[in-house]
Homo-oligomer: A and B are copies of this chain.
């Protein structure tokens, strides 16, 4: 029904990868010259496809099929992490472009039509999920004005330079947007390991972060007897080990965690550590599980602080609540995969995605295609071409099912 053209989609995907090209990947952080050029290109491709398209006041790009009053929104992001991969985000946007283009070519103007969107700055040069948060009404223009990148450049000045400042913002429209669909590379090894080609995302896990800071006393590490030390690092090592054990034993079978950030002060062979900070991140689809882990962190840091005669502080960090996907839209994706004899499994998304911001507003679903070796956020990121093409076909088939339920 929708005359999608996989070769045309692949050509667009490869053309997009030329912007900020770095080896086999891309270096295209949001609002850099490479990113701005890619947005102009995307706008032109949308218009060439016959879509009503524009770039909004923060740089998100959207185009909708004309004639319809309701639209199925298909999107993701086209910015990358520094030295990132060519598919992360971009694939989902180009899938949306191809499906909207096919919709126009099919001469359709009924409800719902198709709208494709590239949300700005999913990767967080200024703020992670920025474009989708603004689109979803979770950030206002005041919040935006405060944002700066890690070098101190303000979002406002970047938008001024880009010529986007002052334009109207694209916003979620409850009366017009009927569903949100996002295709993405998996960024992990589950599909490859399981030998499946389509991942049906049941939920996007919640992510919690905090910093556990132990404060003791710096002392000469040769002359201070062990029993008189107040060693902040010793408390940190004990905490890290115990935390992993707690998550393994008391978390759910889907709990994952990482302790990838340590800072010791003063940081010397021969000085007892005065301050030791540990960055803690943990993810689970259940808010209850996340809360149980949070309470353990606070309680156990306190217990270990007492034991090691140091003090403990737990500084809460950014967090994202778990987001279940919509079962009816997910069912369309599942049936679409079955229609095309594509092997699929239901799985959670361990990474955050723009879909997170839409899930509470509109029926939302996501699908994954396999990542070779599970790699992403690196120029080595890739997906077999037949998996990309199958992903497009499954997504288009799901859209067909939503447009014209059989």
Contact = CB atoms under 8 A, between A and B. Distances in A.
Given A237-B237, A244-B237, A352 B219 contact: no
A259 B244 contact: no
Nearest to A204: B222
A107 interface: no
A350 B223 CA distance: 4
A225 interface: yes
B228 A189 contact: yes
Could you say which of A223, A228, A244 has the most chain B C-beta atoms within 10 Å of its C-beta? Answer: A223
Q: How many copies altogether?
A: 2
Interface stretch (A42-50, A262-270, A387-395): A262-270
B269 A281 contact: yes
A231 to B, nearest CB: 8
A280 to B, nearest CB: 8
Given A222-B283, A222-B350, A234-B244, 4 more contacts: A186-B223, A234-B259, A238-B241, A261-B267
A220 B269 contact: no
Contact of A260 (B248, B260, B270, B352): B270
Interface string A290-322: 000000000000000000000000000100000
Given A220-B376, A261-B268, A256 B351 contact: no
A221 interface: yes
Interface stretch (A110-118, A150-158, A271-279, A332-340): A271-279
A316 to B, nearest CB: 13
A275 to B, nearest CB: 11
A261 B260 contact: no
Interface string A371-401: 0001011000000000000000000000000
A358 interface: no
A159 B202 CA distance: 71
A346 interface: no
Contacts of A256: 221-222, 224-226
A349 interface: yes
A344 B376 CA distance: 65
B188 A220 contact: yes
Interface of A: 186-190, 193, 205, 207, 209, 219-226, 228, 231, 233-234, 237-238, 240-241, 244, 248, 256-262, 264, 266-273, 279, 281, 283, 317, 349-352, 374, 376-377
A223 B270 contact: no
B207 A222 contact: yes
A376 B281 CA distance: 38
B272 A258 contact: yes
Contact of A193 (B228, B244, B349): B228
Contacts of A207: 222
A264 B261 contact: yes
26 contacts: A186-B223, A187-B222, A188-B219, A188-B222, A188-B224, A189-B225, A189-B228, A205-B222, A207-B222, A209-B269, A219-B374, A221-B260, A221-B281, A222-B283, A222-B350, A222-B352, A224-B256, A226-B256, A233-B262, A237-B259, A258-B271, A260-B264, A260-B271, A260-B273, A262-B264, A269-B317
Contacts of A350: 220, 222-224
A217 to B, nearest CB: 10
- Most chain B CB inside 10 Å of its own CB: which residue of A224, A257, A258, A262: A258
A7 to B, nearest CB: 29
